[in-house]
Amino acid sequence: MKHCIFCKILRHELPAQMVFEDDQTVAFRDINPQAPTHILVVPKRHIASLHDCSPEEEVLLGHVLRVTRNVAEKEGLQESGYRVILNTGAGAGQSVFHIHFHLLGGRLMSWPPG
């Protein structure tokens, strides 16, 4: 997608602090971190939200989740725990309409989330 901010980041047209990249996925640090570790894990394919996913994208989403787990391990979060968030729709706080998992860690997390 031409004007999507995350598509621009994954094409390296906009700068970001990349922490991981493979053929299907990128992971980079959130510009406005909500925890000591706050990383966005993003499929390279432009999918607007979880609700826009097709059955053919099940395997891709599983891969992105597995990458999220591996990035969490690389960041040393496995002992303390971490939170993975997928905001879906503006009412749930989604502001960038290219699907992404938030990986948050490095502080205590409260429940329920706000």
From the list 51-59, 61-69, 86-94, 104-112, the region that binds ligand 5GP by CB under 6 A is: 86-94
Picked from ligand 5GP, Zn ion, none, the partner binding residue 28 (CB below 5 to 8 A depending on kind) is: ligand 5GP
100 catalytically annotated: yes
Contact criterion met (CB below 8 Å) for 20 and 101: no
Q: Contact, 89 vs 49, CB < 8 A?
A: yes
The catalytically annotated residue of 3, 51, 63, 100 is 100
Of 10 and 77, the one with the shorter C-beta distance to Zn ion is 10
Binding positions for ligand 5GP, 9-48, rule CB under 6 A? 16, 28-32, 40
Residue whose entry in the numeric block shows the structure tokens 């094409």:
11
By the rule CB under 6 A, 101 interacts with ligand 5GP: no
Let me know: does 64 contact 25? Beta carbons within 8 Å: yes
Of the candidate residues 91, 95, 113, 114, the single one contacting ligand 5GP (CB under 6 A): 95
Positions touching ligand 5GP (CB under 6 A) are: 5, 16, 28-32, 40, 87, 93-96
